[in-house]
Amino acid sequence: MIYQLIRGLAEYEKALHHVSATEDDLRRALMADQPAVFVHVAEHEGDVVGFALWYLTFSTWSGVHGIYLEDLYVRPDVRGSGHGRALLAELARICVRRGYSRVEWAVLDWNSPALGFYRSLGAGTMDEWVMHRLAGPALRALAAADPD
């Protein structure tokens, strides 16, 4: 169920060729004895139609955890029905209940519908921050570097 939605998200983001996770990979991550990643699902008429996949972060400035929303996806045929808002509201409730300081996420700059949706909820952009990623050959090269 979640696996097909993840593939739908990747297809929407024009990145299906980057999906290497399998259903077993997701099952192991989400059902571990001490999971490090969590998922909430949205249902419509008995079908899972969306998900919010997230994990904990930590702010050295506030000294408390936050939530990083890795992916939020709602099937196109049920968008506008409140599922995305409900998923984000649940993450906000978790933050408030546990004393976490924030929910944060990244959005592709071309995804105007998502940007507008997030703005409508009161989310602000963090234009002064530039996201970086170390992966693939560069990650392996740094890992192999001499530790002096």
pLDDT of residue 72: 98
The tens digit of pLDDT for each residue in 43-59 reads 999 999 999 999 999 99
Confidence of residue 61 (pLDDT cuts 50, 70, 90): confident
Give catalytic residues, as residue numbers: 118
Domain at 2-144, CATH class: alpha beta
Whether the predicted pLDDT of 145 surpasses 80: yes
- Whole-model pTM: value is 0.85
Structural domain boundaries in the chain = 2-144
Confidence check: pLDDT of 148 > 80: no
For every residue of the chain, DSSP letters joined together read -HHHHHHHHHHHTT-GGG----HHHHHHHHSSSS-S-EEEEEEETTEEEEEEEEEEEE-TTT-SEEEEEEEEEE-GGGTTSSHHHHHHHHHHHHHHHHT---EE----TT-HHHHHHHHHTT----TT-------HHHHHHHHHS---
